[in-house]
Amino acid sequence: MKLNILFSFIFCLLVMPNINGQSLKVMPDGMVIPKADHTAIVFPDTGQMVYDTVHNLFYYYNGALWKKNRI
């Protein structure tokens, strides 16, 4: 599970620097993942990760549906 999260982060950093108009910020201490209601994203990209402010959980899109990420 943690390895899956790590690969999602790396994918976001290298392949998708600007996700649906929301930019991923990389800081010296870590990174800031975009916040959004995942159900409001009309055309998610495969591998996209957001912090859902409604459910207070991380979600990633696997190409077919949104999956919860419990860290």
- Per-residue pLDDT tens for 21-52? 455 667 677 777 788 888 888 888 888 888 88
User: Do 44 and 66 contact (CB within 8 A), yes or no?
Assistant: yes
pTM of the model: 0.59
Instruction: Phi first, then psi: give them for residue 3, nearest 5 degrees.
Output: -65, -40
Contacts of the segment 43-48: beta carbons below 8 A, 24+ positions apart: 44/20, 45/16, 45/19, 45/20, 47/8, 47/11, 47/12, 47/15, 47/16, 48/12, 48/16, 48/19, 48/20
